[in-house]
Structure 1
């Protein structure tokens, strides 16, 4: 009889431990769910995300913006789990990162297209670029290709069409002005303006440098049906793409009042594409 009681007591304790453990797991999940959603962004100026963050706060979703100064680190941080999402890059840039690093980040929503621009501190029009001038362009695969295609659209060079959207300097097939191309990290092309004739600068970096792209660029990238690879996106890890909280964030971003903020803060330089 004593043995039976002892066995019953052990079973009771085991069940109690199971219940306690289960409750502890639920509590941990709830705690994790209540943590801020960390979103990686590039640059100090993030009025649109500040607006979305404020909207979501009233809906019980807390966002923490994690700011970066370059275009490589936010993807590494997301892949390693230091971020929940990031929002700074084009689809083609993400695809290039995945291929180079063996990752599987996914675009879960489109945001805006921010046209690439040619800027200069010495000329006012692209037609003023002369023989042997030096042009600074971004050095990562997707942005280098995009910059070269922009220079081709501006009539300065021609590139091998077989390279489609990712040509590199070596793929230039015609360079009538014998231009020299200085490839730099995207975060440095604005700073190089004093040392080159012109510089191809990403919109976000241009804004941080004090430019208004639609007013200050000597040549601005046209937006056409073929621009889809250059749409900016909200990006997550593949296993998190259907996260319900992330869907709330997308809904808050892809709203009419957000469009108004985009238009106001970018002075028309960023175009919503959802």
Structure 2
């Protein structure tokens, strides 16, 4: 439920400007034209999840019709947003968006935070880190997850980074082997469950856990969603720069944090998704810092 003041302010802005913050291709459902709802075209790769069903219904209850554009892969979403094919996206982490902005020379902005999916270290037939010293830990090798996986080990006290190593985006080459309790091998993310089933500890992305029949609650260590090291991995709502202050788009962030969506998100993730509330100024500061690192 939105705060009354925020809702009133948003309504005042729209009424005064007489703007269609969003709309279907035919221009129907435009505020200020005698209609009770607006339509927002939003892109995601997660449309089949229970959270998105709850999100769509809750948004409808709030007077927003979601026109959900379903993507099967990440790469096309940001270009579609940049070219105006969609108005908002909700699929990526700050880290992924920073990589896109840096490589494509774009300036997509963040209007609000969603959840952060906790990343865990899994070790078959173990319930703690006891005995892990000297083991080789498998971590995903893709740029979006490798640094975070290494930082899971840093937070667990298993790995020490070399002086001067990048704090948020370390690689295996940045690990001080002599000062660390475990060694690290980087593999394709799809192979981390195989390492686990072979008896080796592995940092496994959440989307591979269910496919591999691994209980998300069985991790022996995990990153702290409130840690600075986890900030790049907050999932965010993204728009073009000119829409960063659009009050209707901002309402979507509030809807995502409703109890209905949060409950569904918890079911989707097996309890590994944690809602994060950060203001857009702070989120964009993190984005800009990371973008500079990737340039």
- Unaligned residue ranges in structure 2 (runs of 5+): 1-22, 31-37, 278-295
Relative to structure 2, which stretch is displaced further, 49-58 or 77-86?
Answer: 77-86
2:115: which partner in 1? Answer: 112
8 Å Cα contact 1:160/1:167 also seen in 2: no
How far the C-alpha of 1:147 sits from its partner, in A, is 1.0
Match status 1:169 vs 2:169: no
Match status 1:254 vs 2:251: no
8 Å Cα contact 1:117/1:221 also seen in 2: yes
Match status 1:137 vs 2:140: yes
8 Å Cα contact 2:120/2:223 also seen in 1: yes
Q: TM-score, normalised by structure 2?
A: 0.67
What is the rounded CA distance, in whole Å, between the counterparts of 2:76 and 2:200 in structure 1?
29
- 1:194-223 CA-partner distances (Å, limit 9, x unpaired): 56823322334435555442x122322123
What are the equivalent positions in structure 2 for 1:121-270 lying under 5 Å apart?
A: 121=124, 123-129=126-132, 131=134, 133=136, 135-140=138-143, 142-160=144-162, 162=164, 163-174=166-177, 176=180, 179-184=183-188, 186=189, 189-190=192-193, 193-194=196-197, 197-207=200-210, 209-213=212-216, 215-226=217-228, 227-270=230-273
Q: Which has the higher helix share?
A: 1
Match of 2:92, SS state, is coil
Match status 1:63 vs 2:63: no
Q: 1:94 to 1:212 in 2, by over 3 A?
A: farther
What are the equivalent positions in structure 2 for 1:87-106 lying under 5 Å apart?
A: 87-106=90-109
Q: 1:225 to 1:171 in 2, by over 3 A?
A: closer
* Structure number with bigger Rg: 1
Q: TM-score, normalised by structure 1?
A: 0.72
8 Å Cα contact 2:123/2:202 also seen in 1: yes
8 Å Cα contact 1:136/1:196 also seen in 2: no
What is the rounded CA distance, in whole Å, between the counterparts of 2:114 and 2:105 in structure 1?
25
Q: 1:43 to 1:258 in 2, by over 3 A?
A: closer
Match of 1:64, SS state, is strand
Match of 2:157, SS state, is coil
How far the C-alpha of 1:261 sits from its partner, in A, is 3.3
Match of 2:158, SS state, is coil
How far the C-alpha of 1:38 sits from its partner, in A, is 3.1
1:48: which partner in 2? Answer: 51
**Number of residue pairs the alignment of both structures matches:** 244
What is the rounded CA distance, in whole Å, between the counterparts of 2:162 and 2:142 in structure 1?
18
Over aligned residue pairs, what C-alpha RMSD do you find? 3.4
Q: 1:241 to 1:222 in 2, by over 3 A?
A: same
